[in-house]
Amino acid sequence: MGQTITVTTQDASQSSSATQAVTLVALKAVSSVKRSDGSLAKPAQTGDRFVFLEFTVKDTGSSPADPGAFSGAVSSKWASVSGQVSAPSIPTGVDGSDVGLSGQGMSSLPQLSPGQSATGVTQLEVPAGTGTLTLADRSGTALFAVPVR
């Protein structure tokens, strides 16, 4: 966390690309989320957990950039320490505010102009246990991996 990496993302048709600096600001992994009054909002599916990743993304290139490329909805992969690989699912009914993160969803952030930055949250549901979450851009190209304990 806190490390900034520079990635080049492609759109789904691979007709345009953008260069972005990405910083993982926070990571929270939980088996359920609770409302502010302490009541259960939503449990993860049996054997799964929710992973919330808060990123700050800055367009460092010369063309507009889509921070939604970091929403995790496209071509992300979960690899457990035992080597099992699966596609994470996108949970509904939960968001970063359920675990104390303030950014809005990455997929709802507006396109960034060169020099602009935004902070947002990606939420995924993955199998419980230690593993690595690899996020990919809209073309399916792996961008970076985040270890999750």
More confident residue, 72 or 115: 115
- C-alpha of 12 from chain center: 17
Determine phi and psi for 11, rounding to 5 degrees: -80, 175
CA-based R_g, the chain, Å: 15
Which H helix or E strand runs over 74? Answer: none
CA distance 53 to 123: 6
Give, in words, the CATH class of 4-74+89-128: mainly beta
Examine the pLDDT at 80 and tell me if it is beyond 80.
yes
Of 31-40, 60-69, 138-147, the poorest mean pLDDT is in 31-40
* Domain limits, the chain: 4-74+89-128
Instruction: Write down the pLDDT at residue 13.
Output: 63
Stretch 25-36: mean pLDDT, rounded? 89
Determine phi and psi for 96, rounding to 5 degrees: -55, -30
Instruction: Write down the pLDDT at residue 52.
Output: 95
Q: Quickly state the pLDDT bin for 39 (edges 50, 70, 90).
A: confident
3-state secondary structure of 52: strand
What's the pLDDT tens digit per position in 91-128? 888 888 889 998 888 988 999 999 999 999 999 999 99
Which H helix or E strand runs over 45? Answer: none
Residue recorded with tokens 């970076």: 144
3-state secondary structure of 98: helix
Q: Which residues pair with 147 in a beta bridge?
A: 132
Q: What count of other Cβ atoms lies within 10 Å of the Cβ of residue 115?
A: 10
pTM value is 0.90
Nearest to 135, CA basis, from 49, 75, 61, 46? 75
